[in-house]
Structure 1
């Protein structure tokens, strides 16, 4: 039997630049196969939300699963002052909100590290071994247990055999010395990382592979987060329009490249909140587009022009790049180019 993480009720806080909400929903769904829990609603993850959740905790709740969001330094510390977690997950360190930190990834990582410093110091922390920027997290003074998840690098919970399947992803993870198969009903390798964090915590809390499998198959998927819409004649729309940062856009482009078998069209808007990092962020995405299986690129908004410029500079055909500042004009052009078998 796996050793329990703590003798008291698990209070789990999830932060990171991307994947917070999905990781929270995956973990919550697993825990709900056996327990009564309290979880944060949608992506309502500001400090005032944490205060409201605290008032809702009841004696019958066997675990608490919350997102701790931030847009600036000090926010996560304030979350922890309201509810001090004994289990923490930092999904990754990317470029969301980097504009608030002068484009400095180390300063952003230091702000995320407030979870490490202010959670229970004998608790358990889950980190992403593959995430390059997680090396800037300030783990030195933490005296609890650190668990690593990963795909490419050796980790405590490591996924292998990752495959795009029917409307989702299949992968394998070793638990208690045995290989187990898992499925998540959403596309993208980045979601496998989210699932690994949920698996790590649930397994350490004593949940069985069957319970974990059931929870992952049935977790709540949120709207405009890599939703696939089928509109006839083999045309599919990959809707990941809820929010955008370079990390998330690259993940969506990966999905488009993997599932699109005909003409693939990327429609990318300006990414907000990038601050002084904005030009670099948009040009990074443009170069990434040029290396993927994308046949036409539509950009929308002033900053998004940099995506098209960088894509052309990296070898993407100039005649297949279209920029718009009017949404109706974009939609008209897109409708003209929608052929059977197109994925957008």
Structure 2
């Protein structure tokens, strides 16, 4: 395998090349120089510079060799290492290592290595790429309009030829799909409106919790006049009869409606939940009350009314019916 040939090719392409154990070659651009005597300006030039300090293994160079020789990178790296070791030994023996079209390595004093560039070496720097249209595109662009008209063929209708104009076709599939979407939207809107109107009233609880409290150490109301005072202090409420266990039974208004139909509907719904003591009371032709009969101690009427309000009508008015 001719590794020396690939040294020159890799150097021209990448402007550098590392040789393990020998050194590195780099392409250096020299500045343009103005000669005052001849009043001429010489353009920039490129030169190959050798540095013995930076010789190391370069995977890029081994990959370049492997791609060109169709071998593995490890195999190419071994060939490169063997070439550098053999070249170094030949330099110690006083021989020259020639790099085709680039130059040659020679041995110098004290075991140093020197590189002499080929006098005919002429390296061109990297140019700026540009794009060029294809020949076909250039030919079309330069073609005159008269030539384009001549190359264009027009078909003229014959005198006896019948020209049939077809009516535009209607896409019934898309129309049916659009109508179906509109109907679905209308049906959804109607259902939503119906559902919201039928659920305006709050749902009542499943059953009315017992409100009768057990009698503590309080004496019977009938025997103690002081115990009868709280019941007598209820504003505008008739004095209810006292039961044998000391409790009183009274009627509480849960809801008030302007029509009999709404009141009866509410009573029927509450009874369906298990509230058997619910009834309707008509005060006049425009005031209908939904009431419930409860029992509690005379001192606990206010607490009982508050409990019924939380259960049946949190946002409305709940009071003892006069």
TM-score (norm 1): 0.17
TM-score (norm 2): 0.18
Which of the pair has more CA radius of gyration? 2
Select the structure with the greater relative contact order (CA < 8 A; seq sep ≥ 6): 1
